[in-house]
Amino acid sequence: MTEKNKNILSINANILYIMMQITNNGMFLYLLKKELHSSCRIQATFVYIKKFTNKIGIQTRKNMRKIIIISSLYLCVVQVLTGQNCKLTNAIDVEKQLDYCDTQIKKTIDEAYNDTCGLPRNIDATETQWNLTNIYDWTSGFWPGILWYNYEVTQDESIKKTAINYTESLKPLTTPEHQNDHDIGFQIFCSYGNAYRQTQDARYKQIILKGAEKLAGLYNPKVGTILSWPNMVEKMNWPHNTILDNMMNLEILFWASKNGGKKEWYDMAVNHAKATKENQYRKDGTGYHVAIYDTITGKFIKGVNQQGYGDNSFWARGQAWSIYGFTMVYRETGETEFLRFAEKLADVYLARLPEDYVPYWDFDDPAIPNAPKDASSAAITASALLELSQLEDHLQKATEYKEAALKMLQNLSSDPYLSGKAKPSFLLHSTGNYPGGYEIDASINYADHYYIEALVRYKKIVEKQSLKAIFLHK
């Protein structure tokens, strides 16, 4: 090969280097390993592209770019066919952790839990098997959601079948006979929402729309929020109560309003978010679990912490729901006020975290450092921050939130927090209701749900970055 017929192009693609060599006989494409933060590592390799360069002019930069793109496409195909998939080598080995989740899920199924009459809810600290709950429990959507995320990654048809069985068992929740409850969002969107996203089954869409309609039935236009706990109106003398968790359930209203449902459901969700933003948080951005409103005037009466240490304490999971919820509202509306508020909520949360980035159940529990941790809060927040990092309009903030999310996932994926062989759950050390005296230092289904969701989100982020490296920009 002479210098005359050599044409070498070297391109820095942020994540990896692509070097191409054009000869009389064809073209060689080299990928050289370059490890950067948030990068995909591809081992040094090359692909020989058969003689087609004569059909494409290579005199201009434009034509050279065409060759690079075509070659990159060819390389992707070769890597898939030969099993040379990218290894995600960031702060967490996401593929390893997703394999771990798959193993734990199959343990749960194998241990005679494949019974749609009962869904895994929790495993107490001294126990080794799931305590089951029924479809009417507020957490009933999380186990089907876990299965759908697992199927999304593995494409295991047996997992899909199990996911369908559990998902379809929740259908009675959308019937007129079932009392309206704000948790219909958790129950239906985590299950049927993920099912429809992956199958496009029209029957599932109709169930989601029915679920949204039931949630909309709890909206109070005078207050501007959804009634969270109808049973607490008389029991606690809370005329109209709205809890922080309810921010999560707005997603089903947004989705439904854009997919065949009523347009006013969108406005209900926005109004709820705005009223919650104005009334349910202190000046520093920490929130009250429950906001109490006057049903006649619509005015905010007071805030209380039903599941926090005290009415003025900083309850960790409530803040996690809030960060996730307002991030989602910004995604759905594009209104910057919700982005800025999500940042405020995230910043005060991150500022109070212990060294391992897994919070105590309440940041103000005087028993700290001997207070229970809440892995569920870390899992929810990690998932939320990963999404927030992708929506951010400030690069520094985006980096900060992504790094914080990865630290949470890294620690949740370490021995102190993994159930491992001892239990079929993913995670240990969650706190459900400390004041109520239950689910303390336990494994809980929603901790596992948002953990696997965060892993799937992170996997997609890295894959997206890898594609950006391959399909070069001008």
Residue set of the binding site for substrate:
183, 245, 303, 317, 321
Whole-number Å distance between alpha carbons of 25 and 233: 80
Name 131's bridge partners: 122
Do 198 and 151 meet the contact criterion of CB atoms below 8 Å apart? yes
Spatial neighbors of 368 by CB under 8 A, at least 6 apart, are 360
Active-site pick, 181, 183, 364, 365: 183
Sign of the torsion formed by the C-alpha atoms of 123, 124, 127 and 131: negative
Q: Which candidate, 61, 54, 146, 145, places its Cα nearest to that of 100?
A: 146
Phi, psi of 433 (to 5 degrees): -140, 90
Q: Hey, what are 103's tokens?
A: 């193993």
Q: Which residues carry a binding-site annotation? A: 183, 245, 303, 317, 321
The string of DSSP codes covering 158-207 is HHHHHHHHHHHTTGGGGSTTSPP-TTHHHHHIIIIIHHHHHH--HHHHHH
Helical ranges in 392-444 per DSSP H: 395-412
Spatial neighbors of 70 by CB under 8 A, at least 6 apart, are 49
Q: Classify residue 401 by burial, with Cβ atoms within 10 Å: 0-12, 13-18, 19+.
A: buried
Sign of the torsion formed by the C-alpha atoms of 287, 224, 334 and 141: positive
Do 223 and 275 meet the contact criterion of CB atoms below 8 Å apart? yes
Do 254 and 269 meet the contact criterion of CB atoms below 8 Å apart? yes
Q: Is 183 a catalytic residue?
A: yes
Bond from prior residue into 120 cis (ω within 30 degrees of 0): no
Active-site pick, 99, 115, 245, 311: 245
Angle between helices 336-351 and 395-412 (to 10 degrees): 50
**Phi-psi category of 371—alpha, beta or left, where left has phi over 0 and alpha has psi -120 to 50?**
beta
Q: Which amino acid is at 270?
A: V
Sign of the torsion formed by the C-alpha atoms of 255, 256, 257 and 258: positive
For the chain, what is the radius of gyration of the CA atoms? 25
Which residues are tagged catalytic? 183, 245
